[in-house]
Structures are given as C-alpha cells and as structure tokens.
Amino acid sequence: TVFSTQDALELFYLTAAVAEPGNERFIRTAVSTDMFGFKASDFIPLLNGQGTERYKSFDDIGDRFYRYRETWIKRGIMPMLNDLITTELVDERLFSLPEGERRITNIYHLIELLHRAERSRELSMSELVIWFRAAIVEEPDDDEYLTRLERDDFAVKILTVHSSKGLEFPVVFCPLIPESDSIKSDSLIYHDPDDSNRTVMYLNSSAAPDDVKELFKAENFAENVRLLYVALTRAKSKCFVYTAKTKRNFNTSTPFSIFYSMRNDIGEKTDKPDFEEYKRALEHISSSSQGCINFQVGEKSEKGRYFVNKSESPNLEAKIFSGVIKDDWRIWSYSSLMQGRDYEGKDRDSFTPSAPDTGEVVRDSIFTFPSGPKPGICIHEIFENIDFTWSDEKLKEAAGIALKKYGFEEKWLSYVKSMVVNVLNSDLNGKGLKLSLLGEDKRLNELEFYFPAKAPGVEELRNLFTSFNGYSPYAAAGIVDAPSLRGFLKGFVDMIFIFDDKYYIIDWKSNNLGNGFEFYSKENIEMEMAGHNYYLQYHLYSLALHRYLFMRLGKDYDYEKDFGGVYYLFVRGMNAGLAGNGVFFDKPEISLIAGLDKFFKSGA
C-alpha cells in the first residue's frame, strides 16, 4: 500500500512538524527528508545564522512551519500541503531523484487520503497525525490505499456508472447502459407517497399490490434515467453508446423511453413500435444533431453477435483558435495586493525607531519578548481565546498555556500577562471604551470574508484612495500592478466587537517598535502603518464589515450610525496609564467605502 512507502514516512514527519512547529526535533527530522533535502552538514551554518539565501537561519525555517500551521488551521491539510510543496520546491527536488515521478505520485495520493480522512472523520490536527501514524503502522487493507500508476494516460478504466459520477474521460464506451424496469428480485423496495415517503420493503414481490409494483417501476425508471444521464455525460470528446433489441420486450426499456417514447420531434408514433421504428427515431436524432451525434446499425455475425459497420474516417482538421484567454482571474487578498511592495529604496529598519544607546543593559520586558511570526501567532491566540472579563489570575493561566504551547520560557509569563491586562484596561477612545467591559457575546473572532471582484486595474483603485483626505491616500502606496482585479477578494478580520450600539474592527499587532512605551507614540505607529501599508488592509476590512452589516441588518443599517471604526492595537506598547499609547484609530469616509463597494462590484 502507499502507506508502506518511504514517502508516507517522510510526509508523516512533515505533518507532525507542522502540527508542532515549536518542537525543534520534529523540524530537524522533517527538513532531513528527501522532500527538503537537508544534510547534516547544512545544520551548523543554519544554527549560526549563516545559511543560504533561501534558508538564512534555523529560526527562518521554524517561522515557515508556523505559517504552514496557520494555513492548516484555517483551510485544512490539503491546501497547506499543496502550499508547502509549491513554496519549498518539493516537486522539483523529488523529480531530480531516481523514481522521482513514482514518489511524487505517492505524495499526492497520500495528500488525497489525508484530506479525505480529515473531512470524513472530522479530525483535528493532532488527531489526523495520530491517524496517519496508525495507518503507516497497521497498513489498512483497502483498494484505495494501493499505490497508483505513475501515469494512466493510456489506461482503459472500467467503472460502474455509479462510481463514474463526477469524473471525466476523453473517450467513453457504454456497452451496458441502464435499461431494466422489470421486477426480477423476490423483494422490492419503494417509498410510500402517502406516508411521508417512508421506505417500505415487500419481501414477496409477487404478492405486492399492482399500485405498489407501479410505484417500484416508476422509481426504478427514474433511477435508470439518472444513471443514463451520468453515463452519457462522462466523455470529453466522444461517447459510444450501444443499444439492441433483446429477447424481452425492449419497448419498456429506459433507452427506448428516452430515445423514442419521450421525444416529440420524430413524427407519429404507434402503440407498439417495432425495432425499425426505433431505428428511424435514432436516425432522426442523429440527422437533427448538426453533426454532433452519429448513428450506425450493426450487422449480425455468424455467431449471432452484432458488429457496427465500419465507415471511412473523414479528413479531420483542427480549428484555429482565434480567441483571447484572460489569465487575470484569481483570488485576491491584502497580501497578494501588496506582493512586491516598493519601500522607495529605504531599508525596513527605517520604519522602526531604535532605542538610544545609553550604555545600560537591556533587561527582559515585553519589549524584548521575541519578534516574528511565531510569537505573533502566540500573542494573537491569547487574545482570541480569553474572555476579556476574566480575572488577572485566569488571564495569567491562559497566557501560560499559550507560551508553553509555542515553546517560550516561563520567564516571559509575567510580562505577557501584564501586557494582556494593559491592553484590556486601556481606554481606547478617551471616553471609557475598554475591552475589559466586553463579554464574549459582544465580539466575533476571525470573521472570514469572501466576495466576488469584477474591478478594473489597480490604477483606478489608487485614484479612488487618493481622492479622499485623512489616512485614505496612504492606502494607495505600493499596491501591486495588475491589469484588473477579477476573481474574489478574501481575508480574515481578527475581531469585530460592539460597544454602545456601534460595530468596531480590531487587528492585533505584536510589532516591536522599540524598548519602551515612548516608542509607541502616534507618530511612530503611523510610520509602522505606512511601512506595511496596513492602511490598505483596514480599508478592505471596513468594506467587508460594511457588507456584512448590510447583509445582517438590512434596511435598518446605516454606516454613519452603526459603524464605529477601526482599531489597530500595537499590544506591546499599550499602557492603561498612558491614554492612546499603542493605539491607532480611523473611520474611513462613507463615500470612500461606497466607492470601494462599487469598484469591486463593477468598477469605479
């Protein structure tokens, strides 16, 4: 089976590492596989931060695995592994090895099986890893686990009509199409229309009333019609269908009913048509199909079998394609819109203020807590999982669980807990708006939005932003050039909350701006917002919430009355005693949000 291969073991190491990216032993095992190709000699430079351009340090690799874990949580095992294989060039690396095509086939087969197990059994990350390990150890006995051919381009596949549903093949032969409507078994099953379609079984079909037999035949006929439809629609280029006059009365068969009895365009019909009339009906279908359907009558051989007459193949000539294929359709997000962002030649550090050199030793604090994707995800998860009304002790317990989960030392616990308390007790608007006042029924975490985009190019989007005042013009900077924004726009809003009958957006930011609260001033935060163009991000989030509220509140919704605005909370720098520290707020103009709504629907 595919679970007995080396590829199954390597993929298991990989999924285990993604599920627990804080475990360095798992990470090292994963990157030592052929899928990553690391050798023992590669680890020393990585540990010293002197690796390759692609993998500068071991921490860089760990951060990647944390990002893959986020994809797994939000989208599932299959999108995560497909993303990993593409990003880490796994296909390219394995194809260069002996039997590379065989190994790639195994990998994608295993991904399908993991995806199916995850969905059908509703498995969490850890449960799926356990299931995968058990499958490798026990090797389940099932045909679907047998290794597949590397290529089946020229293979003939024999399937039942039921199992072919949803599939497509270049050429299909249907020698045995559904046709029976007679009662052949000792028992029959039907659904009683007079009893809420309850399923009924007659064990003695011969003793069943005539009306029951008719109900059974009608249901059987409907099922045969459905199967006939499935059979006739599996082919991409050509489908061969065989029908014949059998010894029994073919006049009651499903093909006959479809091709003869149910057609109104073949002229006058007789009560008991013979096979000649059936052939004339098929000839009529063929002649009126404008060349799409061909009908041939077979000849009987000496042994009594029927063979279709051979006809000369016409000279075929492929049509010349003169159309235009548009390849600008895609799924857009804030990240994809900012790909290749130009920082105007400035180094990234120019956006981040640095602490003055006072000669003093920098001691541990929330400002020296590690930076990057891993600690960012940890902090984000704390705020997502806590109840804002909890006591300090319960908040400390939740923070401790998250820090341990992501592999951080216990020495950081008091600093992280103090940060959480500061964030929850900071007055966000100077009028008493504190997160600690919000119960869980007043907030919504991770609002996912996903809506169609039928917009022209980004130049129109830039012009839309720059035509307004305030922070809005900054959102136009650094957007990737694209001829159009066709497809879908998607994203996740960290949190929505309601306070004083107004809805607000919150985005948690763990960015490190410096070693002290003074570095989280309004000016420095605006520089950080510009450095990442979070301005574009929260305008897209505002549009998403605007559409969501309109959908939920209907005609009662009013942007000015119901939408409170957007808070970007730079959590390291927030202090309950320093009003506004670490807090960014904006409420885009309604005319801009309406313009964005129109832009993504049909263009500005």
| Count of CB atoms situated within 10 Å of the CB of 498 | 15
| Amino acid identity for residue 378 in this structure | C
| Count of CB atoms situated within 10 Å of the CB of 11 | 25
Q: Using alpha carbons, list the distances in angstroms from residue 18 to 8, 55, 67, 143, 394.
A: 15, 17, 9, 29, 29
**Cα–Cα distance for residue pair 187/189, rounded to 1 Å:** 7
> At a CB cut-off of 8 Å and minimum separation 6, what does 60 contact?
51
| Amino acid identity for residue 443 in this structure | R
Q: Tokens for 261? A: 């009895």
| Amino acid identity for residue 197 in this structure | N
Query: Could you please report the per-residue DSSP string of 285-299?
Result: HHHTTTTS-----EE
507 catalytic? Reply is: yes
From its phi and psi, is residue 134 left (phi > 0), alpha (psi between -120 and 50) or beta? alpha
**Cα–Cα distance for residue pair 596/540, rounded to 1 Å:** 8
Which own/partner contact pairs does 295-299 have at CB distance under 8 Å and 24+ positions apart? 298/244
Short-list 335, 401, 373, CA closest to 62 = 373
The one catalytic residue among 141, 349, 507, 562: 507
How do beta strands 198-202 and 306-308 pair? unpaired
**Cα–Cα distance for residue pair 401/371, rounded to 1 Å:** 19
Give the single-character DSSP code of 272. Answer: S
**Cα–Cα distance for residue pair 516/595, rounded to 1 Å:** 40
Torsion, CA 502, CA 507, CA 512, CA 518, rounded to 10: -10
Assign 504 to helix, strand or coil: strand
Query: Could you please report the per-residue DSSP string of 138-194?
Result: H----GGGSPPPS--TT------TTTTTT--EEEEEESS-----S--SS-EEEEETT
Provide the annotated active-site residues.
507
